Amino acid sequence: MSAPLCHATVDAIYRVSEVLSRSLDYRQTLRDVLDAIAAAGLSRGLVSVVDPDSGDLTVTAVHGLDAAAFAPVRYQAGEGVLGVALEEGETVVVDCLGRDPRFLNRLGIYDPDLPFVAAPIAAGGRQLGVLAVQPDRPDGELAATARFVEMVANLIGQSVRLALEVEQEKQSLAEERDSLRRTVRGKYGFDNIVGRSVKMRKVFDQVRMVAKWNTTVLIRGETGTGKELIANAIHYNSPRARGPYVRLNCATLPENLLESELFGHEKGAFTGAIGARKGRFEAADGGTLFLDEIGEISAAFQAKLLRVLQEGEFELVGGGRTLKVDVRVIAATHRDLEAAVDAGDFREDLYYRLNVMPISLPPLRERAEDIPELARHLVARIGAQQGRTLTLQETAIRRLTQYAWPGNVRELENCLERAAVMSETGVIDAELIRLDRFRQGGAAPSAAGLAGAVPPAPTFRDAGGEPGEPGDPEKTSERDRVIAALEQAGWVQAKAARLLGMTPRQIAYRIQTLGIEVKQF
């Protein structure tokens, strides 16, 4: 190498070290390295990197050319000058490229009358690629040029190693993500919702149509009919499936905590708020928020929820910052919202905001033709949880189809799980199907009939759990009414709540405060 080139060589090495210390873009780093060594009179440079899947060399960067400007060029180990450098792990120096039989000229950019140098790129004991250059003019000190190319190849070795590891990690994460998405779609897709009845086919058609859009959905149906499954299917079959899916049961939190849970709070907003917290609306930005039991929220909170639905913005509790979010809302309720609106318990404007696309789920008793398939599906799932194969006999299916299922699918699943636990052999027959003894005889008792059904012996416990006095008619009357409802509902709390005009949460509170011992069947 000539003397003037030595100074250029030092300058080029300095520029290469600068490039490697500041750039995070792997391919841009390689292009910048080639630019740096071009200033030293080696303008026809390229970097080829080993494809971890095939082991072939793939031309990744060429000085002066954008990656889109040339078709993908690959070399197998031992193929061409580059392949030889990779296979042998040694620098290949060619005095006149055109006279070397290994020269394949696949890129068509090299001068056959000039020399050529290809140095392997290695790191951690692995051959990762090849750095190849051609001097701009005949080189009288080709050995010095080769040492310079080897120095640069050594410098970029760690960068190439890290880049390959990052790309492999990204690919692994992408494959895992895609696998999880397929699993989630399978778990929450339509195939997980069993039903061939006319009413369920109508529900499926509605879900398929509404899933494509950002329309607010109100899912209605009795407790245990599968409202959450429908909400899951809408989200995971929508364009928002890649975004977050956040759920909240509005009936499980008091109003002050519900506001903080949905909207988030600033540090010090209330006692115990030791730090700022992101709410469910903010967490669901770009995705879907499922609000179960929407009919249980208070009138004051209804106004705050209405604003979010109308404007897409809200303030954190204890703060003045206004946040704007892009969230699709799916709500669900078992309540008669129209009656609640008429009674003044639910805002009419919020009702219309939520009821844009109503989907009503039929109770199980109205789609009895689905029970055999649904029972087999549930038994297979219970068997998988227990790690064994369960068999549901036809006698058991016949008994299941003759029952009215006031607790809907949830009650059916509990019944089958109880039968599976009691089955030593894994065979579930009619004898293991334990049904509500009050429902087997026919229709449910009316509210009018319930009013007069006060059992004798008014022994009860008061709100503190201690025995109460028989002379307290107000407590005796309330406790007896609740017990009568539970007895005639077969101790199914949701059904007893409907008979008394209560919500499930209200009757659960009454059972606790009145000290009623719940019977299990």
Q: pLDDT digit string (tens) for 186-198?
A: 666 666 688 889 9
φ and ψ at 80, to 5 degrees? Answer: 70, 180
Residue with tokens 């705050």: 304
Distance CA 360, CA 203 (A): 7
CA terminus-to-terminus distance, the chain: 95
The SS3 of residue 414 is: helix
Each residue's pLDDT tens digit in the chain (521 positions)? 444 446 667 777 767 777 776 655 677 888 888 888 888 888 888 999 988 888 889 888 888 777 666 667 889 989 999 999 999 999 999 999 989 999 988 888 889 999 999 999 988 888 899 999 998 888 778 888 899 899 889 888 888 888 778 777 877 777 776 666 666 666 666 666 888 899 999 999 999 999 999 999 999 999 999 999 999 999 988 999 889 999 999 988 887 788 888 888 777 666 656 667 788 999 999 999 999 999 999 888 899 899 889 888 887 777 767 888 999 999 999 999 999 999 999 999 999 999 999 999 999 999 999 999 999 999 999 999 999 999 999 999 999 998 989 889 999 999 999 999 999 999 999 999 988 654 444 433 333 333 333 333 333 333 333 333 434 444 447 888 888 888 888 888 888 888 888 888 788 878 877 878 777 65
Main-chain dihedrals φ then ψ at residue 313, nearest 5 degrees? -145, 160
Which domains are seen in the chain, by residue range? 3-169 (3.30.450.40), 213-361 (3.40.50.300), 365-432 (1.10.8.60), 447-513 (1.10.10)
Residue 215 corresponds to which tokens in the numbers above?
Answer: 């329309």
Query: What's the pLDDT score for residue 445?
Result: 38
3/92 Cα distance (integer angstroms): 23
- pLDDT digits over 35-64, tens only? 888 888 888 889 999 888 888 898 888 887
pTM tops 0.75: no
Instruction: Give the pLDDT score at 344.
Output: 92
CA distance 62 to 45: 6
3-class state of residue 516 by DSSP: coil
* pLDDT, tens digit (0-9, with 9 covering 90-100), for 91-114: 999 999 989 999 988 888 889 999
What secondary structure letter does DSSP report for 454?
-
For residues 409 and 227, the answer to whether their CB atoms sit within 8 Å is: no
DSSP 199-252: HHHHHHHHHHHHHTS---EEEE--TTS-HHHHHHHHHHTSGGGGS-EEEEEGGG
What are the residues whose beta carbons fall under 8 Å from the beta carbon of 146, sequence distance 6 or more?
Answer: 91, 93, 117, 119
Read off the DSSP letter of residue 312.
S
Give me the helix-helix angle, 142-188 and 227-236, nearest 10°.
150
